[in-house]
């Protein structure tokens, strides 16, 4: 046996550790992996969530989903309430100024906004100035119209901007159509 200054020396050749899954030169078993630090599963150190973490994540997602549904329902209820007020005003005006035809599309049916329309016959409808005067007495404010409208009126109900556009050849002539819109939230339409 060889001896060094500090004692015996082991002259056995050092072997390279085979890669995991690689066969050993003698065809024997692969040497075991060194012990892993606590809290790791496998060579990369990844951990899988336990059942408590999974249950927590599922409950959190359910809570967020229910909160979103409740919020959209509240927003939609506000949109419908504002639209109902608009429809009520136009219906009251109908009692004084009879329309030929009408239509209503509540929020979320065709678009986010709620729309009320009235079509007047060319010979018996009210004059645009008469209708503007009636609406201004009801709390509407006139602003610059965009053609083909001759009058554009606005107001705010419960934070919702509402508009009425009157289409006529001029203010002193008969109105052909009235389009009233109640602005609504796209967020409120998500659950519909």
- Residue 185 DSSP symbol: -
* Chain centre to alpha carbon of residue 154: 26
pLDDT digits (tens, 9 = 90+) for 69-79: 666 777 778 88
Terminal Cα distance for the chain, rounded: 89
User: pTM for the whole thing?
Assistant: 0.59
| Cα(116)–Cα(164) distance, integer angstroms | 9
Where are any strands of DSSP class E within the chain? 3-4, 7-8, 101-105, 114-119, 141-143, 149-157, 160-167, 177-182
pLDDT band at 20 (very low <50, low <70, confident <90, very high): low
Neighbours of 118 (CB within 10 A): 27
φ, ψ (nearest 5 deg) of residue 105 = -130, 105
Q: Helix 128-137 vs helix 51-96: angle between axes, to the nearest 10 degrees?
A: 120
Buried b (16+ CB within 10 A) or exposed e, 152-187: bbebebeebebbbbbbbeebeebbbbbbbbbbbbee
pLDDT digits (tens, 9 = 90+) for 107-138: 887 788 889 988 887 777 778 998 999 999 98
């Amino acid at each position: 046996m060889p001896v060094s200054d500090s004692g015996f020396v082991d002259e056995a050749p050092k072997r390279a550790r085979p890669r995991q899954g690689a066969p050993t030169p003698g065809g024997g078993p692969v040497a075991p992996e060194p012990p892993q630090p606590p809290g790791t599963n496998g060579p990369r150190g990844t951990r899988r969530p336990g059942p408590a973490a999974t249950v927590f994540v599922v409950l959190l997602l359910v809570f967020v989903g229910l909160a979103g549904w409740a919020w959209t329902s509240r927003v939609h209820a506000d949109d419908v309430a504002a639209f109902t007020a608009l429809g009520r005003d136009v219906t009251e005006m109908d009692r004084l100024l009879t329309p030929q035809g009408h239509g209503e599309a509540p929020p979320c049916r065709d678009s986010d906004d709620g729309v009320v329309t009235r079509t007047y016959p060319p010979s018996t409808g009210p004059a645009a100035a008469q209708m503007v005067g009636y609406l201004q007495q009801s709390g509407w404010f006139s602003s610059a119209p965009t053609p083909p409208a001759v009058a554009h009126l606005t107001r705010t109900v419960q934070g919702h901007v509402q508009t009425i556009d009157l289409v006529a050849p001029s203010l002193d002539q008969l109105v052909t159509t009235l389009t009233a819109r109640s602005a609504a939230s796209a967020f409120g339409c998500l659950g519909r």
